[in-house]
Structure formats: structure tokens, C-alpha cells
Structure 1
Amino acid sequence: MNIVGARIDGRLVHGQVANLWTPKLQADRIIVLDEDIVNDDIQKSGLRMATPMTTRLSVLTCKTAANHLLNNRYGNQRLLIVAKKPQEFLNLINEGVKLDSINVGTMSQTNTTQMITKQINVEKEDIKVFHELKDKGVYLFAQVNPSVEAHDFMKLLDEKTK
């Protein structure tokens, strides 16, 4: 597996992912983990339009993504995996895929979220999942884009949720 990045971002493929992270990581393929979008041709079309022309896009369930990754379906391609929520990454890890780190990017604010940073808002369930990911040895860091400093996300989370 040649996973060069994993990012939680509620917008999935958009300006930051397409124009900043993809070139920075020299990703050949973006894998979007989303159980709902897999069956939504309109949303998939929108993601394809946002994906850089030199980059391939796969929209997969966690189970399918794990199968493809564990069976080396992508060969030497440099892979950037993106999902809206941390649960998708926990599911991927529980399917046997190893991830060393996850970039916690934009998670939008709603009536039921708690603000961790200006860009990161979490649900109660997300907090539990972040702790599970940490317990599985995944380093979680907050970095909006490659030009700003990365911060230890769990320290930020613990400071705001105590």
C-alpha cells in the first residue's frame, strides 16, 4: 500500500484537497470513503469534476477500499484517502488497513457539534472514535493546508472536551 495521506474533510474533494494536498503529497489517486456517495451518481460526478485532471478518483465503501488496498490493486500509485468522518477511517483500520496518521481537516459546525478549532467541529460520537483511533496507534494531527503548521489533534481535542 502506498498511502501518502489520509484526511478527514467534510467537503471531501474541493479546493484544499484538489489544489493543495494532492500536489503536495504527489497523489496519483484520491480514494473517497463514503457509504452513501458510492450509490449517488450526481455526487460522484461532482467529485470527479473537483478532482485534478492528472489524478484518478475512486469512491468506495470501506470494505471495498480495504479489499483493494490489501490486495495491492493500485500498485505503485500514491494514494490520498479522504472521508467526511473519523468513523470511516476506523472502519478501514478494522478491515485490516494500516494507517500511521490522519490529518483532521475541516469538519463543519452544526447544532450538535462542539468547536475544537475554527475549522474542526466534532460530534460526541466523533470524540469516542478519535480516541479509538489513537488507541490503535494512529497519530492524529490538525492541519488545514500544507502551508500552515500541524498541531497534535488529540491535545486540542482533550483541551476542549475536558
Structure 2
Amino acid sequence: MTEQKRLAAGDRAPDFTLPDSEGAEVSLSDYRGRSVIIYFYPAAATPGCTKQACDFRDNLAELDGAGHAVLGVSPDKPAKLASFVAAEGLTFPLLSDPDKAVMNAYGAFGEKVMYGKTVTGVIRSTFVVGADGLLTHAFYNVRATGHVAKLRKDLKI
């Protein structure tokens, strides 16, 4: 299994501009001066990804109150993201990275083990970008269930 380039706390967060569920461009630089939680997930409207997105939605007030914006990134096209946002009442931006350039920059796409087999795909990952643009946390291979609770604990929220 080839090792993906992984980011760590203290690394500069790779900047990006991606379309959201409405097709509007969202850039990481739009959030400079504020902490941002960026989470990468495999596919909108699948059971694990729905659980994770709803978990972020249900904890958004506390995360926002502690100064953290939330951005979700998947390879889905904006139209699929729009359906997901509407179906689940999501209240934070979901971004479309169909060519996986941003996922690759964050080390969130590559080889992983699923059900005992090595496959290539999205590595469920979460990053916390500080107001200065540097990573304060980098989590790879996170679980869809319980991840937001762990994140809140790690961020002392």
C-alpha cells in the first residue's frame, strides 16, 4: 500500500476554491481570521455520510459559538449536494471536488482498507484550520459515528 502524503498540525492548510451545492464558489481564504473545520467524506446521501453530516448540523450552534465554521467536501456534483442539503436540512456549506484535487492536497484521497480489501477512494478525514491558516488538528480515517463528539472533546467545546 503506498503511503499518502499526510498533513499534520502546524502545516499550512492548502488553499482552495470549490463550488458549493448552489454552484457558488467558496474559498478557504474567505474564512481567514476564523477557525474552519473541513471534513472530507465519500458520498452524499449514503448512511455513514448522512449520519456524519447530520451530526455536524446538530452541533453547528456549539461549534459556531466556539468560533468554528464547518465545510464538508466530497466528490459529488453540486446538484447531488443540493439534494442532500435539502433532504437533511443541512445548514453549512457542502463543496464539490469531483476531480479530487483538494482531497489529494489534504491527503484525503488514496488507498484505504475497506472490508479487508485495499481500495482507492476518499479517506474520511477532518482538519481544523486556525485563524492564521495553519492546521491545529488533522484526523485521518475518522469514524462517521461519534466523530463530532470526539472533535468537540479535542477542541474543548
* TM-score after normalising by structure 2: 0.37
Report the structure, 1 or 2, having the larger helix content: 1
